[in-house]
Amino acid sequence: MLKKTVLIASILLIPFTVLHAQSPISKSVVKIYTVSDSYSYDNPWQTTGQSKGTGSGCIIEGRRILTNAHVISNSTFIQVKKAGEAKRYTAKVDSVSHHSDLAILTVDDNEFFKDSSPVQIGDLAEVRDKVAVYGFPTGGDEMSITEGVVSRIEQRHYAHSNANLLACQIDAAINPGNSGGPVIKKDKIVGVAFQSAMRGENIGYMVPALIILHFLKDITDGRYDGFPELGILFQKMENPDLREKFKMTTRQSGVLIADMLIDSPARNVLQLNDVLMSIDNIQIENDGSIEFRPGERTSLNYLVQRKFINDWINLSILRNGEVKNLKIRLTVTMNSTRLVPFEQYDTAPTYYITGGLVFAPLTKNYLLEWGSQWFFSAPSKLLYFYQNGIRTAEKREIILLTKVLADEINLGYHDMDNAVIEKVNGIKIAGMEDLVKAVEENKETFHVFEDDSGNKIVLKREMADKFSGRILETYKIKSDRSEDLKTKNQQK
């Protein structure tokens, strides 16, 4: 397996520098210095080593600094300094939304906030609005400001989390270091610069004010809950024969419910082949879009994502030709129903070792161990699960034998890796907890691990129990399992 290349890339805006020394915003813009140490998913009991990065931010009300989550993810030490000043101050993370790539930092030293005023959050920008982007791109130490135009507003995949959320496109070039910088219109924040397009010229994106305000409201109770989702899969209904089949009139439009995920709050409320026609009285078109402002359209997911966890949502559906009005409580956070999780941050990887066999769930973090071209170089079977896997009660995770720590007791298995484990000691495995339980409650002579091709790894239970400690010592591994798999007694 290729070792993961650590990329600490702060991204965002600015084609050329224009200094605005008199701008009242300038005294509230912040340069962020980070030291980070990411977890290794190839060797999940260790980290990859220290690296440094920079980004941008802005002081908002409550003596807080608003920035991007990717600027401070996996950080071990953070410093900040204001534009035009030399002194750095130690900062700490207060709240993070990896979904929306936003974070809040705080600084304990009151001196930091002297001579600066919090910048207010504005409204959702309009297409063709002129905006100014503030930040600290690479190529110099001083703050840079450029102007651009909002050219598009629509749902997009956020690179940091792969969440599909509302985003604003702006026609400004993008440089490392600007990530987290405020995008200003009439002295108010209308966005946070956060990513660029891989193709095309002068295409950058900002997290819009609506998403920022959602995040700030979410964390008012001191906890981040996230953006909700319905947990459904739907099909567009642009074909007239399809609409006729499901008894839709010419005045009706909507999308067809094709599947519901295991944790979906819509289970037992919606049914397969229902036609979802409206959400909160906003009509859904046959292409799955809704009008969120006059003349502007985006995905129907926007109507769910503007809600908060445990909010209720009103649906109008067509079932066997009959219109029904339903209510659903939104209890599930977006992306939590995936079989293979998107990239995770600030969280130690899960693993379990017995007899030198290393087991871990398949995640995007693990796939990233194949390097920047992971989507082409990782095993095709694992990529298939990442792309198409749907979480079910029988398969909550894909459990892998990632490698074998070579020892005399596991001879013949040393070259095995990336095997998808289906059964342990005759028990079907749905998740890591099942695997640990099947191993530790086994009283038979052998441990038998079976992969999805029918291959078996057999170890004498007594030998595995006796020599597992020796193997861990040989490979300088402190524990046979991650903290999340330890019982309360083991954690003491």
CA 80 → CA 96, 225, 242, 429, 481, distances in Å?
17, 27, 57, 47, 36
Catalytic residue among 38, 56, 70, 289: 70
Q: Is 70 a catalytic residue?
A: yes
Q: Is 101 a catalytic residue?
A: yes
Q: Is 179 a catalytic residue?
A: yes
Catalytic residue among 42, 101, 434, 451: 101
Catalytic residue among 38, 100, 161, 179: 179
Catalytic machinery residues: 70, 101, 179
